């Protein structure tokens, strides 16, 4: 951020000197260079953010990539036929639940058309996850959902997703007994 502010200050000095001396082409060149630098900084920051929470190579825009997450609810609020992960998903990434809660398991896949996606889940706590659901990626940017799953027993539950047989992400959630205060009347 400091280097960006420094760049803006340098551009202002160059622009001011260029305009006052009558050298407009230099002013235009300075604006172009500033825009080029700013766009590069944004692209680099976006790629770094994607790598922290996703699978695949974000550097190559044509590569298959995405993310795996849990949530408690999702809704297409703008009625465009798509779920926008940043604004239409509630409690994304939640891992601690209580008996009686509901959870969705999701995998967002970009650029994976024709690839086979499979969800593996435990049937009961302690079991090895087995194939629960599968499909073929048919849209360039799609979120695959399993749920809502009603959590009915305290346990640690494990599940994961594969894409063409390669594990792309896993879920580990903890379900606890809900503690209630009961007051008995006498």
- Averaged pLDDT, 120-138: 93
pLDDT of the residue at 58: 59
Q: Are 133 and 162 in contact (CB under 8 A)?
A: no
Instruction: Look at residue 154 and tell me whether its pLDDT is greater than 50.
Output: yes
pLDDT of the residue at 64: 87
Angle at 40 between CA 44 and CA 11, to 5 degrees: 135
- Averaged pLDDT, 71-77: 95
**How many distinct helices (H) and strands (E) make up the chain?**
2, 11
Write down the domain spans for the chain.
2-53, 65-176
CA distances, 17 to each of 4, 5, 14, 43 (Å): 20, 18, 5, 30
Instruction: Look at residue 43 and tell me whether its pLDDT is greater than 90.
Output: no
Instruction: Look at residue 121 and tell me whether its pLDDT is greater than 50.
Output: yes
Q: Report the alpha-carbon distance of residue 180 to residue 183 in Å, rounded.
A: 10
Q: Which residue has the higher pLDDT, 178 or 9?
A: 178
Reply yes or no on domain 65-176 having CATH 2.60.40.2560.
Answer: yes
pLDDT of the residue at 22: 56
pLDDT of the residue at 180: 75
Instruction: Look at residue 137 and tell me whether its pLDDT is greater than 60.
Output: yes
Q: Find which of 2-11, 31-40, 54-63, 101-110 is predicted with most confidence, using mean pLDDT.
A: 101-110
Q: Are 115 and 164 in contact (CB under 8 A)?
A: yes
- Averaged pLDDT, 19-39: 47
- Averaged pLDDT, 1-29: 45
């Amino acid at each position: 951020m400091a280097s960006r502010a420094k760049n803006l200050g340098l551009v202002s000095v160059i622009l001011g000197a260029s305009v006052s001396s009558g050298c407009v082409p230099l002013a235009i060149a300075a604006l172009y260079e500033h825009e080029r630098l700013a766009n590069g900084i944004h692209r680099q920051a976006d790629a770094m953010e994607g790598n922290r929470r996703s699978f695949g190579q974000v550097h190559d825009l044509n590569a298959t990539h995405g993310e795996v997450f849990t949530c408690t609810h999702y809704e297409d609020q703008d009625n465009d036929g798509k779920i926008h992960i940043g604004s239409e998903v509630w409690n994304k990434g939640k891992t601690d639940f209580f008996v009686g809660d509901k959870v969705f398991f999701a995998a967002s896949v970009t650029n994976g058309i024709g690839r086979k996606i499979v969800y593996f889940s435990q049937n009961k706590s302690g079991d090895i996850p087995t194939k629960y659901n599968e499909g073929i990626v048919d849209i360039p940017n799609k979120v695959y959902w399993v749920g809502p799953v009603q959590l009915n027993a305290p346990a640690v539950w494990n599940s994961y997703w594969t894409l063409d047989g390669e594990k792309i992400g896993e879920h580990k959630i903890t379900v606890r007994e809900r503690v209630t205060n009961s007051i008995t009347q006498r």
